[in-house]
Structure 1
Amino acid sequence: MGVISSAVAGGLFDIGGKLIDRLFPDPEQKAKAKRELEKLEQEGELKKLSTRMSTIMAEAESDDPWTSRARPSFMYVFYLVIISLVIVAPTLGIFYPDQMETFFNNVGEGFKAIPEELWWTFTSGYLGYGAYRTYEKRKGVTRNKP
């Protein structure tokens, strides 16, 4: 796990450096941004991020199908909810406007009932999974399971 963690931290530092090179054309601003990135790395912020990424990577590489498929399945459920609320419900609302008003009021109350921590969990899982998949694709990494 330590090797994966340090590889991810190094990768994050490299990505940060490349982003700085692209975003800051002025050499002075670029140098200042790189110093800040190095400062973050020294303070352990990149280490924390690296630890999170290594956990995501370990889950994705797990031989247990429940573990390796949990995050994508969770995202598919959210996709279904979003599609239902954005496409299906408004389409049905054309034919049943009074019922749709009640429906959307109930949905709004339901979303308000979800704790903020759960939204952050979903967001970090979604972004972590997307980042790892991007990393896998760019490195040409494939999972060869027996």
Structure 2
Amino acid sequence: MLGDLINLGDTLIKRIFPDPEQQAKAQSELRQMEQNGELAQLNARYSAIVAEAQSKDKWTSRARPMFLYVMYAVILLVMLGSVVGVWWPVQMKQVADNLKLMFGAIPEPLWVLFGTGYLGYSASRSYDKKQQTKAGL
């Protein structure tokens, strides 16, 4: 797997740095990271994530998407509540004020975590699907 990371790093370097001199410098730094053991640490982290995703335990393998499903449910409930407000506008005004207070109480780092998790999960799923397509699975 470490070899895969090196190959991925080399591919990214070639795409990011069009100048051969910059490519050589970046590849030299990549090799230095490899020697320092930094890539081994990254590899260990990646292996843990892959092991979690491939776990047969539903709670372990579904933990990240479950967070997204909870956020989807919250958004859906807010949308449904706005429709119900047509019949009970006074009560819905109170509900809207309460929701504004409650959503305002959620710390910004949690929203950042949600956005990061959403983008990371989406990107990794897309990458996995592309790899499966290439492999003919």
The amino acid of 1:57's aligned partner reads V
Task: Look up the match of 1:26.
Answer: 19
12-21 or 70-79, which moves further after superposition? 70-79
Bigger radius of gyration: 2
The amino acid of 1:52's aligned partner reads R
Match status 1:45 vs 2:38: yes
Q: Matched residue pairs, number?
A: 130
TM-score, structure 2 as length reference: 0.66
Q: CA deviation at 1:33?
A: 1.2
Q: CA deviation at 1:41?
A: 2.0
C-alpha contact 1:71 1:129 (8 A) present in aligned 2: no
The higher-RCO structure (CA 8 Å, 6+ apart) is 1
What is the distance in 2 between the residues matched to 1:60 and 1:132? 11
Off by >4 Å, runs of 4+ in structure 1:
89-99, 113-116, 122-126
Q: Of 104, 111, 122, which aligns to 1:108?
A: 104
Task: Look up the match of 1:119.
Answer: 113
What is the distance in 1 between the residues matched to 2:43 and 2:49? 10
Gaps of 5+ in 1: 1-6
Gaps of 5+ in 2: none
Identity %: 38
Q: CA deviation at 1:25?
A: 0.8
C-alpha contact 1:41 1:47 (8 A) present in aligned 2: yes
Aligned-residue CA RMSD (Å): 3.9
125-134 or 72-81, which moves further after superposition? 125-134
The amino acid of 1:77's aligned partner reads V
The amino acid of 1:103's aligned partner reads L
